Amino acid sequence: MAKFRNSLLHRFLNWKSRNLSHRQFLMMLSALIGFIAGICAVTIKNLTHFIQLLLEGKSFINYHQAFYFIFPVLGLLVVYLIIKFIFRRPIGQGIPATLYAISRQKGIMKRFQMYASLITAPITVGFGGSVGLEAPTVASGASIGSNLSRLFLMNQTTRTLLIGCAAAGAMSSIFNAPIAAIIFAIEVFSLDLTLASLLPLLTASVSAVLTSYFFYGNEIILPFQLKDAFTISEVPYYILLGILAAACSVYFTWIHFKLMKTMVKIRSKFVRLIAAGLVLGVLIYFIPPLYGEGYNVVNNLLQENYLQALGTNLFNAYLDNIWIVITLLAGLVIFKIVATSLTLSAGGVGGIFAPVMFMGSAMGHCFALILNNLGIFGYKISVSNFTLVGMAGLMAGVLHAPLTAIFLIAELTHGYELFIPLMITAAISFMISSKFQPHSVYTMELAQRGDLLTHDKDHKVLTLMNITRVIEKNFIPIEIDMNLGDVIHQGVVKSSRNIFPVIDENRNFMGIILLDDIRPIMFDEKLYNEVKVQDIMQQAPEIIDIENDRMKEIMKKFQDSEAWNLPVVKKDKYVGFISKSKLLTAYRQKLIEVTV
């Protein structure tokens, strides 16, 4: 069977090479990936809704409030068992895992990632996990795009582009926003904005949105029509909203990574699941709107039905007091990211896109209610407009994707009447938050490890380069207890290089010997026993740590030291040398690959 498949693929590749250009086949493949991403989005949404309907059935409906406590823990437990006993490997968290695959694995993603998130994310969210479905959909589509590109023998650049097409397709299908989806792929995945990349992204985005229309028609996740027009007098309030969005963005990112790092200290994944799951259950029990994705809450806030958005809670008797309502809405902003981080740290599979929109809508709604009820401005501002723009402000600050935020909200509202306030709030939020946190939630850990791709071409090339491929190992090591005679007979005579690494008995790197340093005495046999290695060795101008140094740091070490060869160590043990000439040659080759 495998032989038949290989033969069929071989014949197809031969036919393709004779009848289709690379660009034509790329357009066909991007349309296919867009369709598959659309199917992934439909599948993941339907599975989630099916689980939610089961849990809200007649058996549980009378006790549903009480089950808020236990459902999330059960869902997380099922996901834990599936990962441990069926997949037997970590799934990875959506978009960060995809970005890492692009930067460090040449865009190659494991085959099981094509379906792993499709199974585990609906269970996580369906049982009440406080995360979104966007990132798992993107990850599944990206893995399919990666594996299709490998099947058809595409190069790394094309593979990265097809992963971007899958991301654009997934977002386009979920939100019915094809333009915003393209911008999302460009901003988040650092794709080059050229005609060669734009056309496949456009094709995938349109293909995915048509797939979504086929299954859902005009039904979208956030159905809303603008009711109130923007007025120039509201500009100062949108500026204030941008500042508030920046503050909430910094809070979101800080709390997220703080909680994730705290929970990782619990080494047992099962104990971590129980601890985080129980806290999550308590949180959802007291604040029911935190249950699941929360788009129903967002829709109620957009319709200015804040009582429905808050649902049944301990403060129902006091909801006729608007300041109690405002306090509860502020609580949603504060605790949503806590619930999201607990879900992810417990092993749940999901993303932070929906929580960002949830928090942004609650923040904007709360801000508008405060201004309207203070009564110091002489008139009331549009609560629904500020709810919408609040989502854009938080997206710009947390995701560092201001253009995605602007165009997504504009497309969701089927118009551009709010374009000016969207630009004002998103720009202010992005500028302020990026001062405090230079990287988004998706990219912060990758940036700290030096694995982040950016739109900077030089930085991108350096990140994609593989350090192990430029290490030279034809240098003869000299042991530190040797004498000059040993260096001559065991090193100089046998080596064609003019540098000799000095090591101890455990291969720990100690220093270097240069041929120029011993040339004046190397023919004086009287000194062979008198001169020891310690007398003629010197420190290396810089040392490259293969585990910690990335290409950018390595290039800087060559620049600062002005050396042509630098030693490489791993856990202090000698590995080899890297030469500047070989490094620059590898850089030029990778630059050609990236730009083709």
| pTM, entire model | 0.78
Quick check: helix, strand or coil at residue 200? Answer: helix
Average pLDDT, the chain: 82
Q: Clarify whether residues 281 and 209 are in a common domain.
A: no
Number of independent structural domains in the chain: 3
Q: Clarify whether residues 182 and 329 are in a common domain.
A: no
Q: Clarify whether residues 203 and 280 are in a common domain.
A: no
Q: Clarify whether residues 132 and 178 are in a common domain.
A: yes
The answer to whether residue 334 sits within a structural domain is yes
Quick: pLDDT tens for 178-220: 888 888 888 887 766 666 778 888 999 999 989 888 887 666 7
The answer to whether residue 567 sits within a structural domain is yes
Quick check: helix, strand or coil at residue 401? Answer: coil
Quick: pLDDT tens for 76-122: 999 999 988 888 888 877 777 777 777 666 777 888 888 888 899 99
Structural domain ending residue among the three candidates 153, 185, 216: 216
The answer to whether residue 223 sits within a structural domain is no
What is the pLDDT at residue 4? Answer: 53
Q: Clarify whether residues 307 and 240 are in a common domain.
A: yes
Q: Clarify whether residues 83 and 172 are in a common domain.
A: yes
The answer to whether residue 476 sits within a structural domain is yes
Q: Clarify whether residues 326 and 180 are in a common domain.
A: no
Cα dihedral across residues 251, 252, 257, 258: positive or negative: positive
The answer to whether residue 227 sits within a structural domain is no
What is the pLDDT at residue 5? Answer: 57
**DSSP code, position 532:** B
**What is the CATH classification number for the domain harbouring 304?**
1.10.3080.10
**What is the CATH classification number for the domain harbouring 501?**
3.10.580.10
The answer to whether residue 36 sits within a structural domain is yes
Q: Clarify whether residues 149 and 255 are in a common domain.
A: no
List the end-to-end C-alpha distance of the chain, in Å, as a whole number.
Answer: 36
The answer to whether residue 9 sits within a structural domain is no
| Whole-angstrom distance, CA of residue 454 vs CA of residue 188 | 9
Contact (CB, 8 A) for 98 and 140: no
The answer to whether residue 585 sits within a structural domain is yes
Which range marks the domain in which residue 51 is found?
15-216
What is the pLDDT at residue 108? Answer: 78
Q: Clarify whether residues 122 and 240 are in a common domain.
A: no
Structural domain ending residue among the three candidates 155, 183, 216: 216
Quick: pLDDT tens for 500-531: 899 888 889 988 888 887 888 877 777 888 88
Structural domain ending residue among the three candidates 452, 468, 495: 452
φ and ψ at 221, to 5 degrees? Answer: -70, -30
Q: Clarify whether residues 464 and 387 are in a common domain.
A: no
Report the relative pairing of strands 509-514 and 544-545 from DSSP bridges.
unpaired
CB atoms near residue 129 (< 10 Å):
33
Q: Clarify whether residues 387 and 278 are in a common domain.
A: yes
Q: Clarify whether residues 388 and 498 are in a common domain.
A: no
